[in-house]
Amino acid sequence: MKSAQEILQKGKLLLKDLPNSSLEAKLLFFALTLLSEEKFYSEPDVFLSSAQENKYLRMVKKRLKGVPSAYLIGSKEFWSLSFKVRPGVLIPRPETELLVEKVIELSIGGEEIIADIGTGCGNIAISLAKELGGAEIYATDISHKALDIARTNVMLQGMSGITLIWGDLYMPLKKLGLDKRCDFIISNPPYVTKEDWGNLDREIRDYEPEKALVAGETGLEVIEKLVKEGAAFLKTSGYLVFEIGFGQEKSVQAMLGQEWEQIECYSDLAGISRVFTARKS
Ligand SMILES: C[S@@+](CC[C@H](N)C(=O)[O-])C[C@H]1O[C@@H](n2cnc3c(N)ncnc32)[C@H](O)[C@@H]1O
């Protein structure tokens, strides 16, 4: 048996070369031991079994090899909620919260119909369901793994009003007869180019799903389809709200033709153009 403090210290030392090493060591430690930080700091004589110590150190070693913390602990925080994630399903990014923010700003409340294309672990759909009580949300994905996790998250968050459905882009909406019925179509689609994928951090390339991030040679292939075919599923004055990648603003602006008005592009906290909103004319 060793003291919890001693074991955490070991983790911090092993991870010392990572940015935010101390935070990372703590994140893994508290997720594994289920100790509250309060208890940890107020009771210095908490001891852990050697089985727990070994488990923690194995986790730390995996983290050192580049496995993202979210996959090691099985969850990631988004919009102040905890979402289950696992390999094969994209880890939600903080910049995507801007998309949630914009939909809330544009929403007039009530029983709006929202379609979330490429829902991943369900983070956007569930965050919106929490904020917009009466919304009817359809969350789609082409990945069965993603939909399985999204289903778990819907259940764990105790949400109703979210329908999860498999399929390619707008195909599920077509199947459900949602033509011209949506108030919002929202998406954080794949937008990375094949070339950029090769240059991303190993942590992403080796562990996160390529299909969730890479759109094709130009990176704009999926966004182009979303914009081109989206109007058919929106009510007049409905909104298309979607995330884009670094440097894509001008090309996306050029795609939004006469059927769109009130087109805006908003920047994230890093000053990068990140979220487009456009209203169907
Ligand atoms: C960038 S991830 C976004 C996940 C999640 N919405 C988020 O914001 O964290 C893109 C998601 O779109 C899904 N996807 C990719 N191509 C798709 C397609 N053609 N039709 C439907 N979903 C697709 C991927 O499986 C992935 O879950």
Please tell me the predicted confidence (pLDDT) of residue 72.
Answer: 97
Query: What residue's CA is closest to ligand 1, atom 15?
Result: 212
Residue 28 to residue 15: CA distance in whole angstroms: 11
Beta strand ranges found along the chain (DSSP E): 2-3, 47-48, 75-78, 81-84, 113-117, 136-141, 162-166, 182-187, 192-193, 214-216, 234-243, 260-267, 273-280
Please tell me the predicted confidence (pLDDT) of residue 54.
Answer: 95
Residue 225 Cα to ligand 1 midpoint, Å, equals 13
Residue 7 Cα to ligand 1 midpoint, Å, equals 38
**Torsion angle of C-alpha atoms 147, 152, 158, 163, degrees rounded to 10:** 20
Q: Which CATH superfamily is domain 76-280 in?
A: Vaccinia Virus protein VP39 (3.40.50.150)
Please tell me the predicted confidence (pLDDT) of residue 41.
Answer: 86
Give the distance from CA 173 to its chain's centroid.
21
Residue 102 to residue 97: CA distance in whole angstroms: 9
Count of alpha carbons within 13 angstroms of residue 245, beta-carbon side = 16
Closest atom of ligand 1 to CA, residue 141? 22
Query: What residue's CA is closest to ligand 1, atom 4?
Result: 120
Asked whether the beta carbons of 82 and 27 are under 8 A apart, the reply is: no
Residue 11 Cα to ligand 1 midpoint, Å, equals 34
Please tell me the predicted confidence (pLDDT) of residue 231.
Answer: 97
Residue 185 to residue 242: CA distance in whole angstroms: 8
Please tell me the predicted confidence (pLDDT) of residue 137.
Answer: 98
Ligand 1 pocket at CB < 6 A: 90, 92, 96, 117-120, 123-124, 140-143, 146, 168-169, 188-190, 211-213
- The tokens for 203 are 């942590």
Reference 102, options 279, 280, 281; nearest CA is 279
Out of 188, 191, 241, mutate this one to test ligand 1's pocket (max ligand atoms within 8 Å of CB): namely 188
Residue 120 Cα to ligand 1 midpoint, Å, equals 5
* Amino acid, single-letter form, for residue 90: L
Asked whether the beta carbons of 155 and 84 are under 8 A apart, the reply is: no
Query: What residue's CA is closest to ligand 1, atom 8?
Result: 188
Reference 121, options 165, 81, 84; nearest CA is 84
Out of 91, 142, 214, mutate this one to test ligand 1's pocket (max ligand atoms within 8 Å of CB): namely 142
Asked whether the beta carbons of 117 and 189 are under 8 A apart, the reply is: yes
pLDDT by 10s per residue, the chain, length 281: 888 999 999 999 999 999 999 999 999 999 999 988 888 888 878 899 999 999 999 999 999 999 999 999 999 999 999 999 999 999 999 999 999 999 999 999 999 999 999 999 999 999 999 999 899 999 999 999 999 999 999 999 999 899 999 999 999 999 999 999 999 999 999 999 999 999 999 999 999 999 999 999 999 999 999 999 999 999 999 999 999 999 999 999 999 999 999 999 999 999 999 999 999 99
Residue 1 Cα to ligand 1 midpoint, Å, equals 45
Residue 58 Cα to ligand 1 midpoint, Å, equals 31
**pTM of the model as a whole:** 0.95
Out of 85, 141, 204, mutate this one to test ligand 1's pocket (max ligand atoms within 8 Å of CB): namely 141
Reference 256, options 273, 232, 274, 240; nearest CA is 240
Domain limits of the chain? 2-65, 76-280
Closest atom of ligand 1 to CA, residue 125? 6
Please tell me the predicted confidence (pLDDT) of residue 35.
Answer: 87
